[in-house]
Amino acid sequence: MKLLSTNGFIIYAKKMNEADLLLSYITEDYGKITCFANNARKSKKRFLGKLEPAMLTNIKFYEKPGMTLDILYEVDMIEDYKNLRKDIDIYLFLTKLIELSRILCQERDNNKNIFYLIRDVFKSLDGLETVSAGRPPVSINTVLLKYEIYFISNLLKFTGIFPNFSNCVGCSEKNLQNRFDFSLKKGGVICKSCAEDKYNEFKYAGINKLPVNFINLSNLMVESDLSIISKLIVKEEMLAECSIFLRDFLSFHTGKRLKSFEGI
């Protein structure tokens, strides 16, 4: 077995028995990996206090050829985003990001951009004034909706499933004024002619209306860094509509219920 080392964030944890854990990480060098942590809940020296979601840690693990399950050997703290665990709104939001990362990222599909996306969002959320200095004039829900759209838009981009908003998926007509509807089945916009053509399949493909200005907002998110979050002024109602659309797109694309989004 080979001993490897990398930095990572926990995105999934499952108790295996009285002391062991099964853990999934998004890592800097190996993408998503899944590790078996022997005696993790009792080992104070190697693991105690270092297996929380809102932490960046350096992990050492054994890789066994031919096996998809690695063996976690040791964990060292790099950054502890304590503020994320102090605010219930932010912590619940964190569970949404973690669930999406777990569902969309494939084992050993190394994409450093996803690791850095998680790190940058965690750092920015950890420094929000809402945590240590009281609530700002803008509601926490509005702030988190902006982070959500930013995170999901970029995660879709980095995993190669960002929707096609530029051309009709039926006839390739350009969506010049962003007026087309959206086909969930085809993962892109669809012009009125194709949507209404009774001889094609689109009438059965789950066509949704796009929220007003969603395309502009989503494109802005994937073309900018996190500094756009604090400067962007968007009504909460519009952000909520965009969030619902992205949620529907992800559920349809993955074929899975997004449990952390339910009831929101």
Tell me: the pLDDT tens digits for 18-41? 889 999 999 999 999 999 999 888
Higher pLDDT, 264 or 29: 29
Specify whether the CB–CB gap between 240 and 219 falls below 8 A.
no
SS3 143: helix
With 90 as the cut, is the pLDDT of residue 146 above it? Answer: yes
Q: What is the pLDDT of residue 132?
A: 40
Q: How confident is the model at residue 133 (pLDDT cuts 50, 70, 90)?
A: very low
Rounded to whole angstroms, how far apart are CA atoms 216 and 214?
6
With 90 as the cut, is the pLDDT of residue 261 above it? Answer: no
Record the tokens describing residue 261, joined without a space. 């989004």
CATH superfamily of the domain spanning 2-80: Nucleic acid-binding proteins (2.40.50.140)
Q: How confident is the model at residue 129 (pLDDT cuts 50, 70, 90)?
A: low
**How many CB atoms are located within 10 Å of the residue 253 CB?**
16
Q: How confident is the model at residue 205 (pLDDT cuts 50, 70, 90)?
A: low
pTM, two decimal places: 0.90
With 50 as the cut, is the pLDDT of residue 60 above it? Answer: yes
Alpha carbon dihedral 199, 204, 205, 208, in 10-degree steps, equals: 110
Give the residue from 89, 94, 118 showing the smallest Cα distance to 26.
Answer: 118
> Which sequence spans correspond to the domains of the chain?
2-80, 83-158+221-261
Write down the mean pLDDT value for the chain: 88
Q: How confident is the model over 44-63, as a mean pLDDT? A: 90
With 70 as the cut, is the pLDDT of residue 121 above it? Answer: yes
Q: What percent of the chain has pLDDT over 90?
A: 62
DSSP class of residue 196 equals: H
With 90 as the cut, is the pLDDT of residue 45 above it? Answer: no
With 50 as the cut, is the pLDDT of residue 135 above it? Answer: no
Q: How confident is the model at residue 151 (pLDDT cuts 50, 70, 90)?
A: very high
With 80 as the cut, is the pLDDT of residue 58 above it? Answer: yes
Q: How confident is the model over 84-95, as a mean pLDDT? A: 90
| 229: CB partners within 8 A, 6+ apart | 124, 143, 146, 147, 150
Q: What percent of the chain has pLDDT over 70?
A: 93
255 sits in the region (left: phi over 0; alpha: psi -120 to 50; else beta) called: left
Q: What is the pLDDT of residue 85?
A: 86
